[in-house]
Amino acid sequence: MSEPAISPADSGTELSTRLQQAGLDVNACYQCGRCSSGCPVSPHFDLLPMEVIRLCGYGREEVLLESKTIWLCASCETCTTRCPNGIDIAGVMDVLRQRALEKDEKPHENRVAAFHKSFLRSVRRWGRTYELGMIGAYKMRSGDFFGDLKLGLSMFRHGKLRLRPRGIRGKKAVRSMFHKSGKEEQ
Amino acid sequence: MTRFSYYPGCSLAGSAREYDHSIRETAAALDIELEELPDWNCCGASSAHMTDRRLAIDLSARNLELAEEAGMDVLVPCAACFQRLRKADLVLRQDPGQWSRGEKYDPDFEIIHMTTLLSGSEMLDRMRGLVVRKLSGLKLACYYGCLSLRPPLVTGAVEYEHPDGLDRISRALGAEAVNWSHKTECCGGSLTMARPDIVRGLVGDIVSAARRAGAQALVTDCPMCHSNLESRQAAWKTEDGTDAVMPVFFGTELINLALADRSDEKRWKKHLLDPRPVLARMER
């Protein structure tokens, strides 16, 4: 794979508008690298956090939305906390993930996307997370049927997993929040 | 008597119910009254804000509405719930247009993390006065994780790189809190189901760092860190047959242990990694 050629001439404006709307100023970055040296997951990234910020500045959205990085970021907020220029880097990752979903970009890390979706479906349905149902939905959605099977059984034996969901009275109110955002509807 | 609205969150109503029980027992012992927020909903945790920022604010806004009706400071034990509630509170104060009720958003409550309350000097004094079994000889690595601290603009944490609330609690109970390197390194909780391979490495680093510092056990206040640190170690124990694992306590479980001298067999059965061998080595 050749390195993406970075040129201000390629700059797309849509992404920068979205970042600005979210109060995120990627142009404040001076590439010191604190975000990237403190990131616990960066050894598994294809783009370092500092590269993500620079590519945002150049509007290279297609490179960013195809990356593993936006899905592997665990949102621990170390980068945001340590950025000397006050850039909410984890917040930039949020915007990029959301853009990828809006554009139906196939997530480079399908299992991570499947997890988020399964988690939110559970919240949408019950108003709270129903862990066993969420795990089942994740298995179906990701195709990861046998991962952590022994662990699941052990958790079950230790009485960690509730068999039945407990919905809240305000389920409707919670469901309407998903309608507003529109994405999780079917 | 200090009264609080209490927001347990989904973990404490599900896989970490023992944490909820231990918090209620702690509160009763320390004369703290907890009133669970009626009909609270999930905060959306990482998954909501990571994929839909609007949804994330809306989910927490409903809980803030409930808290405003209750009219008391809100006590939150779960790091993710705490951070999400604080974030929504901050966003709504800055941009009241997102507040669905139309009126100005200006509630008169504070959202307080449980360890902040329990590690205050008044609570530590109360605790010291109630200890019936000093946890002498127990060497603990206090692990704080991410979201009760970061980002400090949201959490209000002062010592966000070198926190010591759990350390102070441990010492008040007579245990030794070791000085170590990984107090606030992420354990990868939000990736634990999708990428256990990556998370195994993160948890491995944390446990090794704790061992290097001479700790016998980890202590945390985050239900997701607890679940992740336990379950990833339990998984490699069954897969590799290794015994090189370290039990993980909730801070409040240690408070319960020191404030009521009883065997607690039932409590430890909830742990995936049996802490009894470590406890047996304590000086009586």
Question: Is the CB of B194 less than 8 angstroms away from the CB of A142?
Answer: yes
Which chain A residue has the Cα nearest residue B8?
A128
Mean pLDDT in residue range A11-22: 87
How many other CB atoms are there within 10 angstroms of residue B261's CB atom?
11
Hey, is the C-beta of A181 within 8 angstroms of any chain B C-beta?
yes
In a domain, A3, yes or no: no
Q: Is residue A24 part of a domain?
A: yes
Domain that holds residue A125: 110-181
Q: Is the confidence metric ipTM above 0.90 for this complex?
A: yes
Confidence of residue B265 (pLDDT cuts 50, 70, 90): confident
Beta carbons of A101 and B51 less than 8 Å apart? yes
Q: Are A84 and A168 within one domain?
A: no
On whether both A57 and A20 belong to a single domain, the answer is yes
CATH of the domain at B153: 3.40.50.11810
Is residue B123 domain-resident?
Answer: no
Q: Which of A73, A62, A72 minimizes the C-alpha distance to A110?
A: A72
Residue A155 lies in a domain: yes
Predicted pLDDT at A4: 55
Residue of A nearest to B269 (CA): A158
A148 contact residues in B (CB cutoff 8 A): 193, 196, 231, 235
Residues B56 and B53: their CA atoms lie apart, in Å, by 5
Residue B215 CA neighbour count, 13 Å, CB half: 29
Residue B122, burial from CB neighbour count under 10 angstroms (0-12, 13-18, 19+): exposed
CA distance, residue B22 to nearest chain A CA (Å): 15
DSSP A163: S
* Spatial distance between the Cα atoms of B21 and B223, rounded to a whole number of angstroms: 13
> Does A124 lie in the same domain as A97?
no
Chain A residues in contact with B238 by the CB 8 A cut-off are 150-151, 154
Answer yes or no: do B92 and B166 share one domain.
Answer: no
**Residue after which a domain boundary falls, among B79, B114, B149:** B114
Burial code (b: 16+ CB inside 10 Å, e: under 16) for A138-175 equals: bbebbebeebbeebbebbeebebbeeebeebebbebbb
Distance, in Å, from the CA atom of B284 to the CA atom of B274, rounded to the nearest integer, reads 20
Shared domain for B79 and B143, answered yes or no, is no
**Percentage with pLDDT > 70 across chain A:** 90
| 8 A C-beta contact, residue A134 and residue B251 | no
Residue A3, pLDDT > 60, answer no
pLDDT tens per residue, range B210-242: 999 999 999 999 999 999 999 999 988 877 777
- Of the three residues A102, A119, A151, the one that is the final residue of a domain is A102
A88/A164: higher pLDDT: A88
Q: Give chain A's mean pLDDT.
A: 90
Q: Is there a single domain that holds both residue B140 and residue B197?
A: yes
pLDDT category at A163 given cuts 50, 70, 90 is confident
Q: How many domains does chain B have?
A: 2
Instruction: Name the more confident of B96 and B255.
Output: B255
Residues of B in contact with A80 (CB under 8 A): 150-151
- Is there a domain that residue A18 lies in? yes
For residues A122 and A68, membership in a common domain is answered with no
- pLDDT for the residue A8: 55
Co-location of B93 and B151 in the same domain: no
Question: Residues 95..114 of A with a Cβ closer than 8 Å to B: which?
Answer: 95, 97-98, 101, 109, 111-112, 114
Is A144 a domain residue? Answer: yes
| B99-117 mean pLDDT | 88
Name residues whose C-beta falls within 8 Å of residue A5's C-beta, 6 or more positions apart in sequence: none
Contact A123 B196 (CB under 8 A): no
- Residue in chain B closest to A143 (alpha carbons) equals B194
DSSP secondary structure code for residue A28 in this structure: G
Report CB contact under 8 Å: B235, A111. Answer: no
| Digit-coded pLDDT (tens) for B149-173 | 999 999 999 999 999 999 999 999 9
3-class DSSP assignment, residue B140: strand
Inside any domain, residue B216? yes
> Is residue B120 one of the residues assigned to a domain?
no
Cα distance between residue B164 and residue B119, in whole Å: 9
What strands, in cross-sheet order, belong to the sheet with B32-36?
A: B32-36, B2-6, B74-76, B111-113
Q: Which residue has the higher pLDDT, B140 or A149?
A: B140
Domain for residue A91, yes or no? yes
Residue B124 lies in a domain: no
Residue B125 lies in a domain: no
Q: Which of B95, B116, B112, B170 is nearest to B140 (CA)?
A: B170
Confidence (pLDDT) at B41: 98
A18 shares its domain with A74: yes
> What pLDDT, on a 0 to 100 scale, did the predictor assign at position A184?
46
Size of interface A-B (CB pairs under 8 A): 173
Domain boundary among A72, A102, A132: A102
Specify whether B154 is located in the same domain as B255.
yes
Cβ distance B151 to A155 less than 8 Å, yes or no, reads: no
Domain count for chain A, please give it: 2
Token reading at B204 = 């491995």
- Same structural domain for residues B108 and B164? no
Q: For residues A95 and A146, state if they share a domain.
A: no
What's the rounded Cα separation, in Å, for the pair B31 and A96?
46
Q: What pLDDT score does B281 carry?
A: 87
User: Would you place residue B79 in the very low, low, confident or very high pLDDT band (cuts 50, 70, 90)?
Assistant: very high
Position B122 in a domain: no
Chain A, nearest residue to B239 by Cα: A150
Mark whether B261 and B162 lie in a shared domain: yes
Chain B residue numbers with beta carbons less than 8 Å from the beta carbon of A150 are: 235, 238-239
Express each pLDDT in A93-141 by its tens digit. 999 999 999 999 899 999 999 999 999 999 999 999 999 999 999 999 9
In a shared domain, residues A146 and A120: yes
pTM exceeding the 0.80 threshold for the entire prediction: yes
Domain that holds residue B57: 2-114
Residue B78 sits in a domain whose CATH number is 1.20.1050.140
Same domain, B193 and B81: no
- A-facing residues of B in 177-206 (CB < 8 A) are 184-186, 188-191, 193-196, 198, 202
Claim to verify: residue A71 and residue A118 sit in the same structural domain: no
Boundary-marking domain end, from B114, B149, B183? B114
A159 and A123 within one domain: yes
- A116·B13 Cβ contact <8 A: no
Specify whether B39 is located in the same domain as B73: yes
Residue in chain A lying closest to B60 (CA): A174
User: Which among A102, A137, A168 is the end of a domain?
Assistant: A102
**A186 in a structural domain:** no
Query: Comparing A29-38, B15-24, B34-43, B273-282, which segment has the lowest mean pLDDT?
Result: B273-282
> A134 and A159, same structural domain?
yes
* Closest residue to A123, CB basis, from B15, B44, B272: B44
Q: Report pLDDT for A178.
A: 93
Residue type, A8: P
Choose the final residue of a domain: B114, B145, B161: B114
The answer on B255 and B139 residing in a single domain is yes
